[in-house]
Amino acid sequence: MTAQKTLSDLAVALLDGSVRVVDCAAPLGPNTPLLKLPPELAVDTPKIEIHEIARYNETGPWWAWNWLKLGEHSGTHFDAPQHWITGKDYPDGTTDTIDPQAFVAPANVIDCSREAAENNDFLLTADGVKAWEAEYGEIGEGEWVLMRTDWDQYNTDEDKFLNTDATGPHTPGVTADCVEYLMEKNVLGFGTQCIGTDAGMAATFDLPFPAHNLLHKNNRYGLASLTNLDKLPPKGAIFIANPLKIVRGTGSPVRALALVPAS
Ligand code: MN
């Protein structure tokens, strides 16, 4: 009965506008910024292509539709545990096997926008998360932790978004001790506004790519290229991030959404 009341209250709030839906996804198309790996490492994910099949013409007189070519890890997207070698053995570690209960969860939004602007290589640490908790309240089990950097302002400019120079890409992220702390708290996963869950320089860390390594080792999830986190409260938003049910998928673009109280 209580849950029924909660849902009926939510239904009213959605319809009367006292709960707003914030779009936390970037446009997905040929101009979407994509990860560039060092040439010695591997093959890059291909540019997104949208091909017209028909548009009310001879190939489809009454309809319009396209077909797409895109990598799983394109634009605003979800990282499943089997994306990383540390998570490769989880039977529920692919986009088609994850419990859908994980796709709707509370969000903690840690504002690092000032630090990231001052230092593009800024890393959120366990102490940084603890300081945030002292101010806003403890992060709970099963909740998202989202790192706000306002990096989405660069989403339409791949060069600025990737911020690469002769030494490599310079974008903010997390330390290994930060992810270890989040894993101790048994959070649902970690999300970022940058191209991937790890910092630009993460290939050079003592534990390379700590977010990927440790999140997926623990059967947890990642979110990348999120937008509009500046429109979310530090606590209180409900985050919806559901990957496409790609068979054995390692990730998927998502139309990430946040339910927030109207201001
Ligand atoms: Mn990814």
206-239 pLDDT, tens per residue?
Answer: 999 999 999 999 999 999 999 999 999 999 999 9
Question: What is the chain's mean pLDDT, rounded?
Answer: 96
Task: Determine contact, residues 75/26, Cβ cutoff 8 Å.
Answer: yes
159-194 pLDDT, tens per residue?
Answer: 999 999 999 999 999 999 999 999 999 999 999 999
Active site residues: 83
- Give pTM, 2 decimals: 0.97
23-70 pLDDT, tens per residue?
Answer: 999 999 999 999 887 777 778 889 999 999 999 999 999 999 999 999
Q: What is the 3-state secondary structure (H, E, C) of the chain?
A: CHHHHHHHHHHHHHHHCCEEEEECCCCCCCCCCCCCCCCCCCCCCCCCEEEEEEEEECCEEEEEEEEEECCCCCCCEEECHHHCHHHCCCCCCCCCCCCHHHHEEEEEEEECHHHHHHCCCCEECHHHHHHHHHHHCCCCCCCEEEEECCHHHHCCCHHHHHCEECCEECCCEECHHHHHHHHHCCCCEEEECCCCCCCCCHHHCCCCCHHHHHHHHCCCEEEECCCCHHHCCCCCEEEECCCCCCCCCCEEECCCEEEEECC
CA of 75 to the centre of ligand 1 (A): 9
CA of 151 to the centre of ligand 1 (A): 16
Q: What is the pLDDT of residue 42?
A: 75
Nearest to 163, CA basis, from 150, 154, 173: 154
108-137 pLDDT, tens per residue?
Answer: 999 999 999 999 999 999 999 999 999 999
Question: Both ends of the chain: CA-CA distance in Å?
Answer: 29
CA of 263 to the centre of ligand 1 (A): 32
Q: What is the pLDDT of residue 27?
A: 97
